[in-house]
Structure 1
């Protein structure tokens, strides 16, 4: 299942065009459930995150020249009836040069809470800005909490997750409506992936190729939960980093 609504793009030194597929039946990604609607299971949430990660991987590593989406957020993710996710809205996307440049200097645009703080301060855009935004999306998928709290403190979702991790209270991080119906190892893995993606320093963030590889392991762990018992902890592939506030 292809994870982009992108069909083709045209690039030259003077003009850039992106052509996307119109999807009339797709719905915006939302974790909120109305009446008589089942809560999205943990397995489906991981599959949605995987689809988005694969879409970004293609933009960064499959397109020539690469494309930076620049506005990855839950409302720019469309879901099919089978809960396959497609990354949409390329209105802010940016072509990344192939001349060896490490970044693009550009006016800062994006959505509050999903915007890479390093890009916001420096005006230097890289593919790691999309990685940061993906990390925020993944935290939202895990917790179903607001990206920015509506309280006076206006704390970011990553700050709250970091606080809960420091308390060792991982189960309180997960959307309580799941009622514990998940493999705790896959939850650990997903949180680790998300937190390393939202590192304030871009050089500490993984590439989307690395993220896809880790998400595959995470999803495989969840799918195998019916085959046997659980291990007590999972710390295999991504080292947990302590989130340092940059807000």
Structure 2
């Protein structure tokens, strides 16, 4: 029943479920092929093709579109329950689509919550409220999306493992307090980003990961603000291109009149 429901959910930023197997002990979901793998692979240290800042903003907008559709475009609403960078897949053209609805739940009303006694989601992405309440709802997905945004911005894994494990929120908080945006942004970008857009994305991400779920924004608002960030960055690039062109034209050699 759950797989049948997911097969009728269609959006350009959701990986299409094309079939499933439910035969005795053999259970599987079959999704469309995604040529560029998952977002986690592209953010890993071993990846040589570094995602540009604009690509990261576009991926965040794409993923927000998909999640916003699940929350507000589906009737009943669908909560993903396991959103993470490895569940955001990329097409040949680097369009992002949300995948893996194996844990998803459709709620009968928009404000309903699902109470579960077994963990849902992945450590590091899991809503901290779940541990105290056992409740999974749309704001739980918003928390997970905020963690994904932080990974996109910082290029850091959600949990850094060393002598002690450090969660990405613990890592970024002191840098935010110091206003050190250049230490926050993935150093592999080599400063190629608009500072105002970068700060705005960080602010959006931190609003998503607030410890109290009711204070987190709805995905409609998150999507709207991320679009503003992308527009700001695109506008900055266009201005820079125009200025460079004017500068280049000023050095063009004009033939002497005869």
Q: Which has the larger radius of gyration?
A: 2
Counterpart of 1:192 (choices 197, 203, 223) is: 203
Give the aligned partner of residue 32 of structure 1: 44
State the partner residue of 1:115: 126
Q: Is the 8 A contact 1:5 1:20 kept in 2?
A: no
Number of residue-to-residue matches in the alignment: 219
Residue 23 (structure 1) shift: 1.5
The Cα offsets for residues 163-207 of structure 1, whole Å up to 9 and x where unpaired, read as 111122111000001000011011001100000000011011000
Task: Note the C-alpha offset of 1:21.
Answer: 4.0
**2-structure distance, mates of 1:93, 1:26:** 24
Show structure 2 runs of 5+ residues with no match: 1-10, 20-28, 241-258
Closer, same or farther in 2 for the Cα pair 1:68/1:6, shift >3 Å?
farther
How do 1:122-161 and structure 2 match up within 5 A? 122-161=133-172
Counterparts of residues 38-187 of structure 1 (less than 5 Å): 38-98=49-109, 101-106=111-116, 107-187=118-198
Structure 2 counterpart of 1:2, from 8, 12, 24: 12
Mapping of 1:210-225 within 5 angstroms? 210-225=221-236
Contact 2:34 2:91 in 1 (8 A): no
Equivalent in the alignment of 1:235 = none
In the alignment, structure 1 segments of 5+ residues that lack a partner are 10-18, 230-247
Relative distance call for 1:147 and 1:33 in structure 2 (3 A) is: closer
For residue 113 of structure 1, report the CA deviation from its aligned partner.
0.3
Tell me the TM-score normalised to structure 2 length. 0.79
Q: Does structure 1 conserve the Cα–Cα contact (< 8 Å) formed by 2:18 and 2:31?
A: no
Range that drifts further, 191-200 or 24-33: 24-33
8 Å contact kept, 1:33–1:39: no
CA distance in 1, matches of 2:115, 2:223: 27
In 2, distance between residues paired with 1:119 and 1:171?
Answer: 33
Which one has the bigger helix percentage? 2
CA contact (8 A) 1:183 1:222 kept: yes
RMSD: 2.2
Gap change, CA 1:101 and 1:180, over 3 Å in 2: closer
The answer for the alignment partner of 1:203 in structure 2 is: 214
Deviations 1:203-228 (A, max 9, x none): 11000000000000010011011344
